[in-house]
Structure 1
Amino acid sequence: MLRLKQLFKNQNREIMKKEIESQVLFFSGNGNHALGASTLRKFSEFAGTDCVFQHINFASFADREPDNRIPQYEKIAGKIVVFYQSMFTQELAEESLELIWTLKKQYGAIYLIAVFPFLRFRRQDHPEKKHEINRLKMIIDRLAHAGADEMIVATPHSEQMAENCDQYGIKFHHVDPSGFFAETIKTYLPTKTDGLTHVYAPDLGSVPRAVTLAKLLNGSVLYSVKKRDLNDETDIISLTTEKTKEISDKLQTNYNFPQINYAHPESIKGKIIIMVEDEVSTGDTANRTGRHLKKCGAASIFFLATHAVLTPGWRNKLFHENPFEKIIMTNSITRDYEKRTGGFIHDISLSLPLATTIYQAVKNRLQQGTP
């Protein structure tokens, strides 16, 4: 019986391999192509075939208008296309829109899966702020009109991304690196922590990520509440005991996780604190938060962030009176030589979780049949 099951599994794998080879094409923009290449190698391992990115000639006219071309465009009609791009600049955003439109609307791809380890405008996602342009919603609207059918993104800033995708008819997939963060951070922690490990959410928006990581580490969650002023500066708000209990009870119920409590100084003293954020931009907020935790008596502080945005001057701000034992970031955005730190930052790759998610999306589409 076991041999029959294995034979059936092997036959299904061989069928999937042939369907991928005959029906799926892969394209990449210029945004962090190294991660795209390693992701496609992982995908090829799952598929049992040697997948490659189709060639794109990237060029521009004398007036700097784009002149990108796809030499073997005749292969695209009727195919499922996977398009990869880490969209961390405006130029890469426009390149993505142009290429997705070209693949889908001009050359006739029947279905398009867009893979964005980092999505431009991800933080501009506040519909309640009427004075701000909702650029996250705008870019998702434009991607839908360009032809994206599915979208894979690592660590969204909030649930607004999934809601916007649903509004515009794009199937959304969230790649969560928490498992990789957990395995990496364990190598830096003592063998026995005996309840000393707390995952710290610097604001309420970070609580979902903190809960996921705390469960993987068998730890608990501490949170703070912040306010952001018109200059985008943040400060921790002091709350009454009654208010913190009200918030904690609500969070514990919402996440079905009783180990969520407000970060009082006495709950931090002598503890191992793991800060978790979706991104690092200037580095200033993370640094100030880390130094605050240090003043509260934290035994050691680790900082985890998915997206290394790292705006000019970030290094001096992030490492000012460096409060961190270790910083861990993913490679959703390429961190070139000029942004290296001499070992202060531990890099982890998103290639495996991205490849797993892409493979499942492709497999589901092939099993469902093209629309």
Structure 2
Amino acid sequence: MLSSERFVVYGGTGYHHFDSRVLEHVNKATGLDLDFSHIKHSMWTDSEPGFRFARPEKIKDRHVIVFSCPITAKLYVQLQDIVVAAHHQYDAASVTVVMSFLRSRRMDHPEKTKEISRLQQFMLLLKFWGADRLVLCEPHNIANTQQFCDQAGLELFVGDPTRLFANAIMGLVQTLGQENVVVYSPDFGSGGRAMNLARAIGAGVVASPKRRLNGRVEAFADDPTFLARFKATYGDDIPVSCNMSDVADKHVLMREDEVASGSTANKTVGNLKAAGAKGVHLLATHPVCTWGWKNVLLPDEEGEAPPFTSIWFGNTRPRGFGETEYEGSTGGEITTVDMSPIVAETLIRAMEGIKD
């Protein structure tokens, strides 16, 4: 049985207002009364960090929950400080790290010798620091993330935001008519996200017969081979096509795990419109939003139409790097889909599995 006395919660390392919403959902769903314990942020005169716990004696023999969104080197070091100190210095019973956005998510291929497998390294470091379990919202590659967690000895809990996106766009789908909507998968690896959303809204899927291997895009030998493997992997309970002509006169939903510069999404929407799509709607969980993303996704030159009919972003991290929340806003041109409920549900699953 869950009890507030068993847990100590720390946050404030990157994205506190989102973390607060997650904790509110946890308390409401479980009847707990958890709150964030205070962390003192300071710096010594020689520029050494003075970051520390306000009441470290609370940690001993309790389960520590650490919220973190380490999108900068400073936040990464703060996460390390909290986990190492909680486990090794203050004798926490266990440490759970909650990361709505996963660091190094794309550097996940040890076989690519010209690139350090930083996701694998990060999981090993988390365990070495003292973490016991990790809560995530839709990492880029769930299979690789699970493999690296298993290798490190970390329990992994993953939240699927499909339901939240489906609920958010259901009004749009009903207005357009389900028969006029398809979900697009730009390659084989994106099929799971596309199929899950299609099931949730009652639509079919159009998938491009490509796959990504070691950074290269390769086409399947033929369409029947692609479809057979696609259905064997993701299910055959809904209609799936790999014929681009099937997007003609349809409203297409592009379901992505993240958007960075927006250039890849912009190229894809051009291909879909060339194939006759009536409208294209972009749904992305993680708004990475690197420099210049607004110029790509939301052009404001006179006479230049925006590429997407509508854009829906999750709020798992701040948009961009170093921008204020206002600077990352768009005046309503992008609809925010709150991801905190699924992160809370996933955290509760992790908490319920903790044994004293």
Q: Same fold (TM over 0.5)?
A: yes
Q: One-letter code of the match for 2:349?
A: Q
SS at match of 2:88: helix
Please list, as runs of the form range in 1=range in 2, the aligned pairs for 1:183-202 lying within 5 A after superposition.
183-191=167-175, 193-202=177-186
Does 2:194 match 1:210? yes
Q: Could you say which residue in structure 2 is the equivalent of 1:267?
A: 246
Q: Could you say which residue in structure 1 is the equivalent of 2:48?
A: 65
How far the C-alpha of 1:157 sits from its partner, in A, is 0.7
Does 2:348 match 1:364? no
Deviations 1:320-343 (A, max 9, x none): 442211111111012411011121
Q: Aligned partners of 1:229 and 1:352: how far apart in 2? A: 34
Does 2:128 match 1:145? yes
Q: Could you say which residue in structure 1 is the equivalent of 2:278?
A: 299
Please list, as runs of the form range in 1=range in 2, the aligned pairs for 1:282-297 lying within 5 A after superposition.
282-297=261-276
Does 2:340 match 1:351? yes
Q: Aligned partners of 2:5 and 2:273: how far apart in 1? A: 57
Whether contact under 8 Å (1:118, 1:332) holds in the other structure is yes
**Corresponding residue pairs, total:** 345
Does 2:243 match 1:243? no
Q: Could you say which residue in structure 1 is the equivalent of 2:6?
A: 23
Whether contact under 8 Å (2:223, 2:242) holds in the other structure is no
Does 2:231 match 1:252? yes
Please list, as runs of the form range in 1=range in 2, the aligned pairs for 1:1-371 lying within 5 A after superposition.
16=1, 20-158=3-141, 159-191=143-175, 193-225=177-209, 243-259=222-238, 261-320=240-299, 321-335=305-319, 336-365=325-354, 369-370=355-356
How far the C-alpha of 1:227 sits from its partner, in A, is 7.3
Q: One-letter code of the match for 1:243?
A: D
How far the C-alpha of 1:94 sits from its partner, in A, is 2.0
Q: Aligned partners of 2:292 and 2:175: how far apart in 1? A: 36
Q: One-letter code of the match for 1:282?
A: S
**Structure 2, unaligned runs of 5 or more:** 300-304, 320-324
Q: Aligned partners of 1:152 and 1:226: how far apart in 2? A: 30
Whether contact under 8 Å (2:188, 2:230) holds in the other structure is no
Instruction: Give me the TM-score of the superposition, normalised by structure 2.
Output: 0.91
Q: Given the superposition, is the C-alpha separation of residues 341 and 194 from structure 1 closer, same or farther in structure 2, using an over 3 Å criterion? A: closer
**Fraction of identical pairs, as percent:** 32
Single out whichever of 71-80 and 194-203 deviates more from structure 2.
194-203
Q: Given the superposition, is the C-alpha separation of residues 284 and 153 from structure 1 closer, same or farther in structure 2, using an over 3 Å criterion? A: same
Q: Given the superposition, is the C-alpha separation of residues 124 and 100 from structure 1 closer, same or farther in structure 2, using an over 3 Å criterion? A: same
Q: One-letter code of the match for 1:224?
A: S
Instruction: Give me the TM-score of the superposition, normalised by structure 1.
Output: 0.87
How far the C-alpha of 1:274 sits from its partner, in A, is 0.4
Whether contact under 8 Å (1:89, 1:120) holds in the other structure is no
Q: Aligned partners of 2:135 and 2:342: how far apart in 1? A: 11
Q: Aligned partners of 1:260 and 1:63: how far apart in 2? A: 63
Q: One-letter code of the match for 1:39?
A: V
Q: Could you say which residue in structure 2 is the equivalent of 1:5?
A: none
Q: Given the superposition, is the C-alpha separation of residues 226 and 95 from structure 1 closer, same or farther in structure 2, using an over 3 Å criterion? A: farther
Whether contact under 8 Å (2:183, 2:205) holds in the other structure is yes
Deviations 1:266-290 (A, max 9, x none): 1111111100111011111111111
Whether contact under 8 Å (1:175, 1:357) holds in the other structure is yes
SS at match of 1:109: coil
Q: Aligned partners of 2:219 and 2:146: how far apart in 1? A: 32
Q: Aligned partners of 1:303 and 1:66: how far apart in 2? A: 41
Q: Aligned partners of 2:282 and 2:117: how far apart in 1? A: 29
Q: Given the superposition, is the C-alpha separation of residues 120 and 161 from structure 1 closer, same or farther in structure 2, using an over 3 Å criterion? A: same
Q: One-letter code of the match for 2:45?
A: A
**Structure 1, unaligned runs of 5 or more:** 1-15
